A and B are shown apart, each in its own frame.
Chain A
């Protein structure tokens, strides 16, 4: 058994920042990641980091923009924490050597971005995430922080208390991809989940193949509620053939969207009369698809993003990476012709319920970054707010886990007096249900009840040992089967249904269809088998375990979307074309409840430090 004070699961932006923060507090910290840190998908982030660091800007404006962008579903304490901490964290990155783009006076550059009242997006070319990731990995190397790379964390070691609120996390179980060993990792102080996004639930996504939401799924099955999962951001400018991201920076610098008629539709058709192309992402994505559905799309699929008028010098200076991406992945020269773009899954606003210190309902378990939901982004994230989220909340989780006093959190976790239970959601199938069978244990790797019916395990070492045993059994059973269903087929079916039914535009019929499809995939997963018998670098096994995580997350997204009969932020419902503040200023919460998922709601917090954010009509 490996032992550390703090374990960070995931080696992307939030994970690295958390590890550095915990280390600075004097903790013995280790990072466990299924990739190598520099392979993390933070490296693909392009646009920039919102931080109020200039004359004429202040954190309150940043907070206001973020709250408006969230369509009033972000929690004020979280949003204000982000806006207050971001300047210091961003300058910290510069002090660690990050090669930000520069102004003539030698200071870091900022550019306009969607939904911002001030050009506060600090950037490093169109490859900000790459530099952020590498700079933070450099700091990890400098500090000698231990990294277990290519170790796949497949489950958490959590005590067996009946009430999730009483459970404690004492570590994780990880599978050494290189050797096939399943080992326990004990965390004396805390485990921080920083496992990133869930894009692989969809087939047209900007996300990496590794973005399978492992942390969110593991925390969910261990008893932590998932929050606001139905709010999935579709980025308006991705390349049609691959889903590769074309940064909002293109529009920030002055790029223009045209339909097949050559019309600048954001203005021509009144989607955003003031901000035009720089409206927030949900607005622009819906506008593009409306154009396509109205017969004004190119090849009935996409629209054009044109940056030629910016001139070669400016493009090369600030957006050079976009030229490479358009050339390599779409065969288009962005200097000579407009680039084809369409919406693609990009970011999951929801995730593991946490407070502003990164703590979850389970004692000793933290989450930060895209896998977490504080909630900063509410129903729609602004461009340039994901990278500050990683560093701000990564740092806070790392410090808190290492024992620092960050003060009392204002955001509550779990069920309090103010919660509402969902009653009578009309679903076509029981969520979470799987037919019982001999191999139920295999499918239910995340089940938190002692399979042998023994006494509840609460002692730390024993908790980790027990978790390791269960995981070894699960993996052996998957490996032993020599026939059945391939995970790749299941994953493809899941992705196809989610892309068809739970996309930018949603309606009741499609959402119900998705739930039935998810159930079908869940049932078929009972017969999933791992064809590769090898213990060496068995990606067949890893992908099989990941697929189980995708099934649970797809269901969480769809359940929340079906229940929420209003139109807010990224969640558009055909039958419900208005935001219903009387009824829906609340977060969707979903508890695993030992396999019978339960939906409930907790109110959004609009009271900030010294002002209350009044919901207004949101127009750009």
Chain B
């Protein structure tokens, strides 16, 4: 455990080897561009608002899970503490970037769009799956604790292996399968506004994996398709453009041991979904449809 703050920095022995040079960096960074950086810091300080939650100069503690399978001193998982100056509108992602760029450039996490659409930075923040970029520090209690998504193999620090998630997504025939193309040149399929509205929420999935990570059933059953993949199937099964035969086929894919019937309606996926998709509801609707379809043959 080590606490990293701008002025001083303690290190555990194991860490010393890895970060021998960071100390020098923080106390007396390389001579390049010092003045400009100081100016920038001054500007940043000025831009800090005076709102109660963001008192100038006040910092909060960011606790981050660390692990690297091949770097001595990081092979044993641990938490590092960073002191992060509060800024108005700061998100967990901003705080992680601050910690990485200022204190420890080896801190590793996925991120890209910064606006909750690429799904790269789903993390376990204060005990709940959230997107780092969409989570305001001011909405959290300090210390802010950031861990990789549970129930997935950790590659390094906050990066998890997403392969299983992708495999499940690919397992539900996640592509449009209409029966025939519309007649005529440049003719689109017709779809009612109501039908588009029905599938709208399901099409918003950004594949972040928060739901899968929050699901107790998925944690105990590696074959369970999981909420994201089932939601993807729902998106097509409910799309009137595919036609009745395809809907029947899709329900058959769902109507299996590791499909919709494993869901125990705990609503954890729905609770954590950053796009507010009613996942549990969608799974239940597929259960009902599957039952109705089976009854047809009695």
A53 → B minimal CB distance (Å) = 6
For B39, the closest partner residue in chain A by CB is A496
Partner of B175 from the list A97, A125, A127 (CB cut-off 8 Å) is A97
Kindly state whether residue A166 has any CB partner on chain B within 8 Å.
no
Contact indicator B159/A483 (Cβ below 8 Å)? no
For B34, the closest partner residue in chain A by CB is A489
Q: Which residues of B contact A241 (CB under 8 A)?
A: 88-89
Cα distance, A524 to B29, chains bound together (Å): 14
Q: Which residues of B contact A477 (CB under 8 A)?
A: none
Contact indicator A209/B188 (Cβ below 8 Å)? no
Contact indicator A141/B71 (Cβ below 8 Å)? no
Kindly state whether residue B296 has any CB partner on chain A within 8 Å.
no
Q: Which residues of A contact B113 (CB under 8 A)?
A: 39, 41, 43-44, 208-209
Q: Which residues of A contact B69 (CB under 8 A)?
A: 536
Q: Which residues of A contact B109 (CB under 8 A)?
A: 539
Q: Which residues of B contact A496 (CB under 8 A)?
A: 36, 40
User: For window 145-201 of chain B, which residues contact chain A by CB distance below 8 Å?
Assistant: 155-157, 159, 162, 166, 170, 174-176, 178, 181-182, 186-193, 196, 199-200
For B22, the closest partner residue in chain A by CB is A531
For B93, the closest partner residue in chain A by CB is A209
Contact indicator A43/B186 (Cβ below 8 Å)? no
Interface segment among B6-14, B115-123, B260-268, B281-289: the answer is: B115-123
Kindly state whether residue A415 has any CB partner on chain B within 8 Å.
no
Contact indicator A138/B159 (Cβ below 8 Å)? no
B100 → A minimal CB distance (Å) = 8
A126 → B minimal CB distance (Å) = 11
Contact indicator B114/A178 (Cβ below 8 Å)? no
Contact indicator B175/A95 (Cβ below 8 Å)? no
Q: Which residues of B contact A96 (CB under 8 A)?
A: 175-176
Q: Which residues of A contact B81 (CB under 8 A)?
A: none
Cα distance, A157 to B41, chains bound together (Å): 42
Q: Which residues of B contact A244 (CB under 8 A)?
A: 114-115
Contact indicator B189/A532 (Cβ below 8 Å)? no
Q: Give the tally of cross-chain contacts (CB within 8 A).
A: 183
For B87, the closest partner residue in chain A by CB is A241
Q: Which residues of B contact A106 (CB under 8 A)?
A: 190-193
Q: Is the interface of B mostly helix, strand, loop or mixed?
A: loop
A152 → B minimal CB distance (Å) = 13
Contact indicator A91/B188 (Cβ below 8 Å)? yes
Contact indicator B155/A537 (Cβ below 8 Å)? yes
Contact indicator B196/A102 (Cβ below 8 Å)? yes
Chain A 483-527, CB-CB to B under 8 Å as 1, else 0, gives: 111101110110010000000000000000000000010001001
Kindly state whether residue B126 has any CB partner on chain A within 8 Å.
no
Q: Which residues of A contact B117 (CB under 8 A)?
A: 43-44, 127, 130
Chain A 549-579, CB-CB to B under 8 Å as 1, else 0, gives: 0000000000000000000000000000000
Partner of A87 from the list B105, B134, B186 (CB cut-off 8 Å) is B186
Q: Which residues of A contact B239 (CB under 8 A)?
A: 97, 99
Contact indicator B134/A331 (Cβ below 8 Å)? no
User: For window 20-44 of chain A, which residues contact chain B by CB distance below 8 Å?
Assistant: 35-36, 38-41, 43-44
Cα distance, A226 to B190, chains bound together (Å): 43
Contact indicator A94/B188 (Cβ below 8 Å)? yes
Contact indicator B207/A38 (Cβ below 8 Å)? yes
Partner of A486 from the list B71, B88, B105, B192 (CB cut-off 8 Å) is B105
Contact indicator B118/A141 (Cβ below 8 Å)? no
Contact indicator B18/A533 (Cβ below 8 Å)? yes
Contact indicator B111/A242 (Cβ below 8 Å)? no
Cα distance, A488 to B115, chains bound together (Å): 21
B85 → A minimal CB distance (Å) = 16
For B68, the closest partner residue in chain A by CB is A534
A320 → B minimal CB distance (Å) = 9
Q: Which residues of A contact B29 (CB under 8 A)?
A: 486, 489
Kindly state whether residue B108 has any CB partner on chain A within 8 Å.
yes
Cα distance, A131 to B203, chains bound together (Å): 7
Q: Which residues of B contact A540 (CB under 8 A)?
A: 105-106, 108
Contact indicator A527/B32 (Cβ below 8 Å)? yes
For B187, the closest partner residue in chain A by CB is A91
Cα distance, A107 to B33, chains bound together (Å): 57
Cα distance, A533 to B193, chains bound together (Å): 54
Contact indicator A537/B108 (Cβ below 8 Å)? yes
Chain A 43-68, CB-CB to B under 8 Å as 1, else 0, gives: 11000000001000000000000000
B196 → A minimal CB distance (Å) = 5
Chain B 95-136, CB-CB to A under 8 Å as 1, else 0, gives: 000001100011011011111111110000000000000100
Kindly state whether residue A193 has any CB partner on chain B within 8 Å.
no
Cα distance, A538 to B74, chains bound together (Å): 14
Given contacts A91-B187, A102-B193, contact A531 B170 (CB under 8 A): no
Kindly state whether residue A156 has any CB partner on chain B within 8 Å.
no
Cα distance, A130 to B118, chains bound together (Å): 9
Contact indicator A208/B118 (Cβ below 8 Å)? yes
Q: Which residues of B contact A88 (CB under 8 A)?
A: 186
Residues of A within 8 A of B (CB): 35-36, 38-41, 43-44, 53, 87-88, 91, 94-97, 99-108, 125, 127, 130-131, 134-135, 138-139, 141-142, 178, 208-210, 241-245, 324-325, 328-331, 482-486, 488-490, 492-493, 496, 520, 524, 527, 530-540
Q: A35-B120, A520-B33 are in contact. List 8 more A-B contacts (CB 8 A).
A: A36-B166, A39-B112, A99-B203, A138-B174, A178-B155, A325-B115, A496-B36, A527-B32
In the assembled complex, 27 residue pairs joining A and B whose CB atoms fall closer than 8 Å, in A order, are: A38-B207, A43-B117, A43-B118, A95-B188, A97-B239, A99-B199, A99-B203, A99-B239, A102-B192, A130-B117, A134-B203, A138-B175, A139-B175, A209-B112, A209-B113, A328-B116, A330-B89, A482-B20, A485-B32, A486-B29, A486-B101, A492-B37, A496-B40, A533-B18, A534-B68, A534-B71, A537-B108
